Structure formats: structure tokens, C-alpha cells
Structure 1
Amino acid sequence: MVRRRTLFGDRARYWFDSTLARGAAVLVLWMALLCLAIVLPASAVLAWTDPDVPASLADRLAQVWRHTGRTLRLGGATGPPLRVAMSVLLALVTLLYVSALVGLITAALTERLTALRRGRSTVLEEGHAVVLGWSEQVFTVVSELVAANANQRRAAVVVLADRDKTVMEEALNTKVGPPGRTRLICRSGPTTDPAVLPLTNPAGAGVVLVMPRDEPAADAEVVKTLLALRAALSEVATRPAVVAAVRDDSYRLAAQLAAGPGSVILESDTVTARLIVQAARHPGLSLVHQELLDFAGDEFYLVAEPALAGRPFGDALLSYATSSAVGMMRGDTPLLNPAPDTLIAPDDLLIVISRDDDTVWLEDCAELAEEAAMASGPPTPARAERVLLLGWNRRAPLMVDQLRRRSRPGSAVDVVTDHGEATVGEVDEAAANSAGELSLTLHHGDVTRPETLRRLDVYSYDSVIVLGRDPAPAPTPGQSPDDPDNRTLVTLLLLRRLEETSGRELPVVTELIDDRNRALAPIGPGSDVIISGKFIGLLMAQISQNRHLAAVFEELFSADGTGVRLRPATDYVLPGSETPFATVVAAARQRRECAIGYRIHDDTSTGPRYGVRINPPKGERRRWSAEDEVIVIGGD
């Protein structure tokens, strides 16, 4: 018995599924039969239980028809068959018309909403920032642009990338947070297509930023995007400022030609190598750089000061109570830390560090300097340095070159890599290019194994640089990507173990690719960590607000030019003395340097600044210890 019921149920279900598969007409028929099966019995119950309906069968059937007609919108008219048929016909025509109209409206709205979700509508904003491409730098750039536009009412940032619009919006909302007054607009499409770029209205933009990706073909894509942008703006008289970045120096000229005159092209690998080497030579310098590049703190501004025209630059150092003068912009040429007796021309712009552009005002602070508290001895002499380089990637030869440029006699760099990370030829080539005062030695070993590090006398080095491998090409489907920071984190764990065992602190500078791994790195809170993409993003955001700052940063981060330095406080003030910061500025002026801040030794492990104070008021008094450091802009 059970077997027979099961077979009958299967056959009935199969027959029902087969009828539905015949098309929409059969589906409509089934829906009509289902409705009638419910409506007719319910209408009959209403008709037979209504006391106002005559008791005759014809009258009750007519009432059943009226209930059915009103329910199914079939008119419900009674009378001769022709009248009923016409009523049903008109009701069906009305139903067809309304259904078709609703369907058309629904289809149009669905199409429009789909287009909007895909990000295919044209932006009508003016003076906005356009970000082309998608990488980890996008979050840094957008965050900084939001901070820079905090005091503007109708600012907008438009992001165009070959990704789903909804995915980009969710990622920005998660990592950037509330945009405040700034509108964040995402559009989907390839950045290398000139027909897609008009979606961002680049002709009306104030600046266009082209994001680099950390992939082998990233530079070629940047150049192609710049060419597409030029094609999209071919008929525009006034073009927006363009800021882009490439990894390899060999692509810089092509990118410059594609972007056109007035554009700024950064070399991300070169800048990253310079930042790592400077942090290795001056521990804590990465914190200073981040403070100067972050819109949340003090940053660089160009201001005109007619009142200082004709006076020596040294007077400008103590002419601001809450800002720090560090140089002059003469035409398009930056003069960082010029000689104090350099006269300020009427057309010169002063380069100052300040909280905001409206906090730069003149106030004579020369009388605050206390000459009795100034140190009079010679500066601390530079000495030979020993650097341990753990790991190897494409930026390593650039770092060796940076170390060579300022090396003292007897300086040495020891490189420890796997056989697969750096070939003997690569290191030999770097050694040949570093011929002079710097010796380069290659040691083979796995930096993620404890025995490799135990063989090294790591405490004999002035600094230890930990590098990760270059990111691997995109994995095949189903294969998990290889995080280049994984080996770096393992190496840092081993170094941390050595510190805990010996009780001594290692001067470690770490390069990470992903900013999210910063919280995972087993290092001290105030240690130097260079997130290459983040620093490039900060630079691009700063330059997007004022393209003249590109020349300032080029000089600031150059290997042979004027840069940010950390000097012992005892070179400027007597240890233990309590004196205003104006005294430090005056003492630095005597040494042909521009003092812009200090680092408190006792707070180097305390966040969020880790002892770094940029642009303090000139009248701020504090007691200076022998372990404190002064942040200056000057040469070696």
C-alpha cells in the first residue's frame, strides 16, 4: 500500500513539473485554476450566509459571481451572457494594460538601479578629486583627502576601478570610516578605457590620482591609464593636476610623457628605500615622517610673507610662535634649510610647518631664546656604521646605494638571504655599485630559522633591516595567495625572542606590505615600521593639495640633499636645563639647521606619538635630558 502511494505521488509530481515546463501560458492557467479553487467556494459561503440575498438559486449564484468578479477584478456584472462576456473582456483588457504598465515601470526601475549599482552614471561634481585604480593605497589616499576637506562644504572624492561598486563602497566605509562633509562616489570600469573615464568627469576635477599596484605589470598599467586620461581630455583646454606613482625608475619618463607637463610622477621603490635607510640611520625617524605627511597633524604649507621680504632667512626661524619655517620656494625650486644669511626675495614663498594654513601668523619670538642654556660644544661626530640586512627584494639594491652615498670609512652591510631570494650576481652588482667606503658581504641562510640568527652577532650592528620578499604573481584559481609579510613576521618573532633572552633592545627597521599586519608585528610600539604603500599614499595625498610640495619632498627624501634628522639634544642645549623651545631653534640656527621638534626619551614607548613632538610652540618650556633628541632639517 505504501509503495503504491509513493509511486502515485511521484507520478503526480512529475506530471505537474512537466506541465510547468511548457511555458508561461500553462503557468497562468494553473494560477487561474488555483485562484478559482479558493475564490469560488469562499464566495459561495458568503452568498449562502448573507441574509439580504434572495433565497432563489439563481440569485445566490449571481451573488457568487459578483463576489468572484470583485475579487479577481473581472467586473462582476450580471445579466444576459453577452453583458457578462463584455464585462469580463473589459476587465481582462484593464488587467492586461495595468500589468504591462507595471511590468514596464518595474523593468525600467530595475535597469536603472542595476546601472547605478554598477556605477555607470556620470559624475557632475566640480573641483573634486578623482582616484583611478584600486590598491591598498586607496584607503590611505581617501582618508587623507577626507581629512584635508574637513573644513570644506561640498568636497567629493570619486574612485574608479574595475571592481563592483558595492564592494568598493563597503570597503571604503569599513576602512575609511565616516567621510564627514566629503562625498565618496564609486564608479566601476577599467581605468585604461578612454570611454569609461568620462564617468568621473575628469575635465571638471581638481586633481587626478593614479594608484599603483604591487604587481609585475603595474607600471605598464599606470602608463596606459595616463594615456587613456590624456585621450579622454584631448578636447579640454584646462586639464586637472595629475599625481601618479610607478615602481620602476625606467617607467618614470614614459609616465611623465603620458601625463603631460605639470604632472607629478613618484618612484615608489626609490622613496621607500630612502625612508627605510633614513630610519635605519636615525631610529624613530619613520614616526616623524608619518607625522609630517599625515593631514591629522602638522604639515607643510607655502605662504607669502611680504613683511619678511629683504630680511635674512634666519630671522624667519623665530618669527612664528606656532609654526616652523624650514625653507623658501624660489620659483619652482625649493631651498630647504638655506643659510641663515640668505635674503628673502619679495617673490619667495616661505616653506613652513603648521597645524593648518590659517595658523600661520607672524609673532617675534627672538627674545624667548636663552643664550645661557645653549650648548657650545662641537656636534656629535658621525662614525662608521654596520647594517644587517635580513632578506632581499627588488628595493634592496636601492637601499645599498642609499647606504653607500653617506657611508663613513669602515662602514659595512651584511646581507643574509636564501639562495632563492638573491642571486650572487644581484648582490655582486650591488656591491660593485657600492664600491668606496662601504663593504657588502653576502651570507646564505634562512632568516626564518633560529639557527641562522644565532650564528650572527646581531647586537654588533647599528641597525637591523628586515625585508620581505616581492609579492608573487596573481595565483591561479583555487590557489591561496602568498602573503609576502608572512616571512617578515616570523623573522620578527625570532628577533623578539633574542631581545627577551638577552634583555637588550635591537634597533630594528621593518618593511611591511600590508598595513593590517602592523598590529601583528611582534616589535616595540615605537619601532620603525615602513608600510611602503601607506607612505606613498600619504605623499600622493599631500601633493594633490599642492603640487609644489613634490619638489619639497623630493629634496627632503633625497640621498644627498637636506632631510629630516634626529640629533642629540645635548648638541643644542645644556643637559638638565629648563628652557623654551625657542632656545633650541636659536641654537640650531647657529649650526645652520632648522629645528622643528623633539623626541622625549622617556615617552618612546608611549602611544600615540611615542615621544615625537612636531612644531611645538616657541614659548613651550621643558627640562631637557641627555637622552632626548631634537628633530631638525639639515644635512649630514
Structure 2
Amino acid sequence: MAQRRTPFGDRARYWFDSTLARGAAALVGWMALLSLAVVVPASAVMVWTDPDAPPSLAERLAEVWRLTGETLRLGGATGTPLRAMLSVLLALVTLLYVSTLVGLITTALTERLTSLRRGRSTVLEQGHAVVLGWSEQVFTVVSELVAANVNQRGAAVVVLADRDKTVMEESLGTKVGSCGGTRLICRSGPTTDPAVLPLTSPATAGVVLVLPPDEPHADAEVVKTLLALRAALAGAKPRPPVVAAVRDDRYRLAACLAAGPDGVVLESDTVTARLIVQAARRPGISLVHRELLDFAGDEFYLISEPALTGRPFGEVLLSYSTTSVVGLMRGCTPLLNPPPTTPVAPDDLLVVITGDDDTARLDDCAESVEKAAVASRPPTPAPAERILLLGWNRRAPLVVDQLHRRARPGSAVDVVAEPGEATIREISEAEADSGNGENGGNGLSLALHHGDITRPETLRRLDVHSYDSVIVLGRDPAPGQPPDDPDNRTLVTLLLLRQLEEATGRELPVVTELIDDRNRALAPIGPGADVIISGKLIGLLMSQISQNRHLAAVFEELFSAEGAGVRLRPATDYLLPGSTTSFATVVAAARRRGECAIGYRDHADASTRPHYGVRINPPKRERRRWTAEDEVVVIGTD
């Protein structure tokens, strides 16, 4: 078989590529030949076409050489060969010096720009907020810090994470949007390296927030970051307050020790479980929590009011027209919803809900109370409840424990999960652990049903409409999977539940746990439904505490299982149905029951965005007609 002849063009290209592969010398040689091949003929044409060109051939060649030298900056001296060679030598030395100098300057500038793009320069700020770590919570934290700084000039938020600076800036710009007057600065590097943390100038920061990363060993990473921060701040006085979050309570003590005496460590899984249970028992409560925790509306503040010293707490409740008083801060101990006869001590701070720290102005509203509209019947007792728990994850035992603590006799919880998700042993351990609560032995029964909650036949076998509430939990993300992967299964389950609602024409009280806030818009649920975005809630809490670390004790009491928390009660427990009266009357009616009224939910607007009927801290002189379907938001106990 005859050998196929390689085309000349391919052979020439291969030879040319082979010479280039020999290094810089070959490249310089080819560039020189190419330049001469263009410049010399062009110079000759210019000389021979010049009407003033010299007549002799030697003079014309000398002119060609001069033009070539000027074009290539090689000198244009004519004369003896020695003179021409020395001219070329001097030109080459000059060219080498200039090109080397330009190369050095270009390299230095490139390295500096690369360093800046990588976020390796030290931040020189004062009183700024430092956010260490990267997770879905970072977008909530940064956006809330920006909202908190809307009235401050020169505010800055510095984010340090082991990610590319440009990628972080693009992600924050897309999800957070405009930062207004707050400057957003990103720096790249591991948060567990004490040599990297000084890039954020933590010693001059106003607060440092440590976020748990989206990975299986997040809590250990938080503890290491706190230890690195302590090493980076060694000798710094005063040290900035630190706010961190861990998932597992087993790491909370270690994180508290690493954070120091001024640090605050939140336990995200426990807080999330409490909020899930509260939403399951009273639909709409998650909307109230969101209104209380973000900086868009009214939030918690601690204020001093010497004029109220010595007055009973019950009178203080009606001493402000546009501020809701919910408790006292006595030393470092919060007293939420104390007895109405509790006097205000000289050093007490008032725990209030108001628009800003300067909007709480004394204005007695006692004359706006209409006693004739106050309901006199006793509150409706809570019946036994049946709850369906679809799915199982690391927070499920905490959910069961919270359900058990406040369960009424005869209550039941049915768990539906795949065999690999929950076992009889895990269910038994959760039941045994929950029996250690103060309401242990109250008769809450737990039952496990194996099945895939993403399959229609599994849900059809259940009489879902016989349950008072349905809780949907996503799986724990497996190693290597995206952190929001469990949301995919949750959305499928919600679609199947929505189909059951449409088939029967009956609405299901569903409480959904999601990881990514962006999936909230995709969830096939009714408007105003309870959706618990665990990372978003913890981010809101961290942002609130970062502005005043003393609020940590208030939130701990507010979200505890046994303390005074946020409750939604039927309006008929406080007012006569159909009465038109002021909100001050509601506050007085709640005071008679030992509660602090802070708002209401209008049933007529329960499906209207963005607040879904929830109104926190309305003016006490505001009058409206109260229906039997309306609800009152109070701070109280069960």
C-alpha cells in the first residue's frame, strides 16, 4: 500500500511549529526575519519611488538602510561597516534596556492588580462589620446589615471567605442588590488562618459574625475560625463582640469558650425546630417572626425611660402610642411579659418593639381603651393535636422533643420516612429524649410509617386531611451534594400535597422547611403559608444581635420552649366579635390575661403580599373593625 503524501502546507506548518517549540530564541529570530521581510522591501520601494532619491546605487542602498534602521529603531548611521555595526549594537542595548524596564513595570503592575483582584490587601476601616465564612446565610446577613446602616455614613461590611473575590462580589451584587451608602468589601482567604484574618482589620471592627459553612463538618470549622480569631486579636483591647452560629448543641460550649465572654453563639438547629413546631401549632406564626426579625419594619430595642421608674409594668404597656412594650431588662436578665404589678426599677431597661431607637416617645393611651368591647369569656382551651411529619433529618428529633414538651393529652405524631432515613430505634430515642421534658409522660404517641414521600401512593394511603398540621422536612444533604439539594425532594412532596388539596377542595395546614430562600417562590403552596428558611432565620437573628448583643438574651427567652414567646390567638379571646375599637383596647384586654399584645393579623388580607395581613406594632389609637377570623399577636406563655 502506497504511503499517503503529506501536503506541503501541513509539512511547512509542522516545521514552523517545531521551531517555535525550541523557546524564546526561535521566537525572536522569526520575529526579526518577519520584520526584515516587510521593512526592507517597503523601504526599498520608498527610496526608488522618491523623485529626490540619489542617483547612484550605493547611495540608494544607504538610504534603504537608514529607513530600515529608523523603522526598527536600530540606528541609521552610514559609513564604514564598523560604524554601522556599532550603531546596531548601541540600538540593541537601548532596546534591551527599555524592553526590560517596561517588562518589569508591567509585571509589577500585573502582580499588584492580581493581588487586589484576589482580595489580599488589608482593609483600613473603623467600626465596620466583619463577616467570616460563606454560606446561604451570607446574603441575608449582608442585606440586613446594609438595611441597619441605611442612616449611617461611612458604614462598611467586610466579607472574608475562601473563595474568589470577584465571584463573591458578583454573587452579593446579584442577590443583595444596591448597598446604598454602605461599602461592601470582599477579601479572599481561609477564615481558620490567623495570618489571613488581619486582612479584615478585626481589631478595629464594630462586630464580627462567624457563619457556618455549607458542609458536613460546619461546626468544627466555626470553632476553628473562632480560635483563629482569638489568636489574631491577641493583645487587642477592647475586643469586638463576636456573633456565631453552630448546628449541633455538642459544639456550642466549645464555640462559646472560643468566642470569649463577650461572644454570642446561636444553636441554629434548635431554634429552627422551635419555630417549626410553633408554626405547626399556629399557622402564620412564621410571618410574625419574619416581621420581627428583619430591619425593614419594627424590631426590638432596649431603651431607658427614667420617667416610668416605680410604675407597674401594666401601666407601662399603654404609655406609648407607637411603641409596644414587651418586657424589662434587669441587669443581664430579660423579663419578658412580667406580671402587670411588677414595678419598673431605676436601672431597668424597657424591651420594646418600635421603628427605630429614637421613635419611642411617651404618650399615654389609657383613655383610648373601650372596656365595653373587651370579651369576658375564658380563652379557648387547646385540644389534643394530630401532626403528620413527612421526612426525617438531623432536626427531626428536636422537632419531636418540642412537640412533646407542649403536647396535650391524647396528642399523636405520625412520622413517614424511608427505611434509610429514620429507624424504629431513632424514633424510640426521640420519644425517650422528649420524655425528659417538664411535660414528660403527657401521653404523646409516636408512630413510624415507612414510605417514599415523593411518591403519590405513599401520600394517598394517608388520610392527610385528618391531621391538624403537616410538617415537611428535607433530607440532610449527602457529602458532595449541593447544600440545597434536599429542597428538590421537598418541592416534589409539596406538589403532591397540592394535588390532594385540589382533588378534595380542602386546604392543608402545611409547614415547610427549605434550605434556599430562592425556592420559596417555586414552592406550590398557598400565599401566606408557613415556610421556615432555616439559614435565613438564623441570619436575621445574627444581624439583630450584631447591632445589640444584649438582645441575644431576649431572643433566647423568646424562642425557648418554656419561656414567654410569640403567640397567635383568636381575636374573640380579647374582643367582642364585630366590635370597632382601638388597638389600645386589645392591649388592655391582653393585659387582663397576663399577655403583651404587639400586633394582629387581618383575615381579610391574609393572602395579600407582602405582609399577608400581619401588622406589628400598630398605633394604639388606630381603630378598626375586628372580625371573628382575625388573630391577635401577643407575647405570652401557653
**Do the structures match in fold with TM over 0.5?**
yes
Report the Cα distance in structure 2 between the residues aligned to 1:355 and 1:238, rounded to whole angstroms.
30
Question: Which residue matches 1:111?
Answer: 111
Distance verdict in 2 for CA 1:47–1:214, change over 3 Å: closer
For 1:357, what is the secondary structure of its paired residue?
coil
Amino acid at match of 2:75: G
Cross-structure match for 2:334: 334
Structure 2 counterpart of 1:430, one-letter code: A
Shift of 1:67: 1.9
Confirm whether residue 367 of structure 1 aligns to residue 371 of structure 2: no
Where does residue 49 of structure 2 map in the other structure?
49
User: Which residue is 2:452 aligned to?
Assistant: 446
Distance across 1 between alignment mates of 2:398 and 2:265: 18
Q: Please give the residue correspondences for 1:383-402 in structure 2 after superposition, counting only pairs within 5 Å.
A: 383-402=383-402
Find the counterpart in structure 1 of residue 543 from structure 2: 541
Q: CA deviation at 1:214?
A: 4.4
Give the total of aligned pairs: 630
After superposition, where does 1:123-142 map in structure 2 within 5 Å? 123-142=123-142
Range that drifts further, 525-534 or 485-494: 485-494
- Of stretches 274-283 and 160-169 in structure 1, the one that deviates more from structure 2 is 160-169
2:484–2:515 contact (8 Å) kept in structure 1 = no
- Aligned residue identity for 2:46: L
CA distance in 2, matches of 1:53, 1:273: 95
Letter aligned with residue 323 of structure 1: T
- 1:516-595 alignment runs, 5 A limit: 516-595=518-597
After TM superposition, list the pairs within 5 Å mapping 1:313-462 onto structure 2: 313-435=313-435, 436-437=441-442, 438-462=444-468
Instruction: Note the 1:30-429 alignment, pairs <5 A.
Output: 30-429=30-429
Q: Residue in 2 aligned with 1:464?
A: 470
CA distance in 1, matches of 2:277, 2:483: 29
Cα distance in 2 for partners of 1:288, 1:622 equals: 20
What CA distance in whole angstroms lies between the structure 1 residues aligned with 2:52 and 2:330? 101
Query: 2: CA distance between counterparts of 1:15 and 1:415?
Result: 73
Separation in 2, partners of 1:223, 1:554: 21
Q: 1:597 deviation in Å?
A: 0.7
Check conservation: 1:264, 1:550, Cα contact below 8 A: yes
Alpha-carbon distance between aligned partners in 2 of 1:605 and 1:187, rounded to the nearest angstrom? 42
**SS of residue matched to 2:345:** coil
2:499 and 2:237 map into 1 onto residues whose CA distance is: 61
Letter in 2 for 1:110: T
Counterpart in the other structure of 1:498? 500
Does the CA-based 8 Å contact 2:216-2:479 persist in structure 1?
Answer: yes
- Cα deviation code 1:418-467 (max 9, x no counterpart): 11110110101122234412121222222222222222221221111111
Q: Which moved more, 1:47-56 or 1:549-558?
A: 47-56
1:157-201 CA-to-partner distances (Å, cap 9, x unmatched) read 111111111111111111111111111111111111111111111
Could you list the runs of 5+ residues in structure 2 that have no partner in the other structure? 436-440
Letter matched to residue 469 of structure 2? S
Q: 2:531 and 2:206 mapped to 1: Cα distance?
A: 33
The letter of the residue matching 2:336 is L
Instruction: Output the CA distance in 1 between the equivalents of 2:316 and 2:52.
Output: 102
For 2:21, the equivalent position in structure 1 comes to 21
Q: Which residue of the partner structure matches residue 606 of structure 2?
A: 604
Structure 1 pair 48–214 and aligned structure 2 pair: CA distance change class (3 A) = closer
- Give how far 1:327 is off: 0.8
Give 1:4 deviation, angstroms: 10
- Looking at structure 1, the residues matched to 483 and 119 of structure 2 have their Cα atoms a distance apart, in angstroms, of 28
Distance between the aligned counterparts of 2:428 and 2:334, measured in 1?
Answer: 37
Q: 2:69·2:75 contact (CA, 8 Å) conserved in 1?
A: yes
Which position in structure 1 is the counterpart of 2:635? 633
CA distance in 2 between partners of 1:5 and 1:146 (Å) = 71
Does the Cα contact within 8 Å between 2:214 and 2:483 map onto a contact in 1? no
Q: Residue 89 of structure 1: CA displacement? A: 2.4
Counterpart contact for 1:288–1:612, Cα < 8 Å: yes
Once the two structures are superposed, residues 29-76 of structure 1 have per-residue CA deviations (whole angstroms, 9 ceiling, x without a partner) of 111111111111111222222233333323332332222222111222
Letter in 2 for 1:465: I
Residue type of the partner of 1:32? A
For 1:215 and 1:56, locate their aligned partners in 2 and report how far apart those are by CA, in whole Å: 84
- Structural mapping, 1:474-489, within 5 Å: 474-475=480-481, 483-489=485-491
SS of residue paired to 2:59: helix
Partner Cα separation in structure 1 for residue 513 and residue 17 of structure 2 = 62
Distance 2:472 2:21 in 1: 65
8 Å CA contact 1:448, 1:487 repeated in 2: yes
Distance 2:154 2:372 in 1: 52
CA contact (8 A) 2:377 2:573 kept: yes
Tell me, yes or no, if the aligned pair for 1:387 and 1:461 is still in contact at 8 Å. Answer: yes
Is the CA contact (8 Å cut-off) linking 1:280 and 1:463 kept in structure 2? yes
Contact kept, 8 Å, 2:77 with 2:84, in 1: the verdict is yes
Partners in 2 of 1:455 and 1:18 — Cα distance? 73
Structure 1: 4+ residue segments shifted above 4 A? 3-6
Distance in 2 (CA, whole Å) between partners of 1:487 and 1:157 is: 35
Structure 1 residues 358-405: Cα deviation after superposition (integer angstroms, max 9, x where no partner): 222222222122222222221122221111111111111111111111
Letter of the 2:386 partner, please give it. Answer: R
Report the AA paired with residue 87 of structure 1.
S
- Quick one: distance in 2 between partners of 1:414 and 1:424? 12
- SS in structure 2 opposite 1:290? helix
Q: Per the alignment, do residues 29 and 433 of structure 1 end up closer, same or farther by CA in structure 2, a change over 3 Å counting?
A: closer
Write the distance in 1 (CA, Å) between the matches of 2:253 and 2:347.
Answer: 31
Judge which range, 261-270 or 513-522, deviates more: 513-522
- Aligned-partner Cα distance in 1 for 2:458–2:212: 35
Name the stretch that deviates more: 341-350 or 358-367: 358-367
Equivalent residues of 2:477, 2:483 under 8 A apart: no
Instruction: Give the unaligned 5+ runs of structure 1.
Output: none
Rounded to whole Å, the distance in 2 between the matches of 1:284 and 1:598 is 11
Counterpart secondary structure, 2:351: strand
CA contact (8 A) 1:214 1:471 kept: no
1:512 is matched with which residue?
514
Residues 571 and 482 of structure 1, relative CA distance in 2, 3 Å threshold: closer
- Aligned alpha-carbon RMSD (Å): 1.6
Q: Distance in 1 between matches of 2:284 and 2:349?
A: 30
* Structure 1 residues 7-18: aligned runs within 5 Å: 7-18=7-18
Q: Deviations over 1:209-239 (max 9, x none)?
A: 1111343311111111111111111121221
Q: C-alpha distance in 1, partners of 2:469/2:483?
A: 31
Q: Which moved more, 1:555-564 or 1:360-369?
A: 360-369
Q: Distance in 2 between matches of 1:236 and 1:579?
A: 57
- 1:5 deviation in Å? 8.8
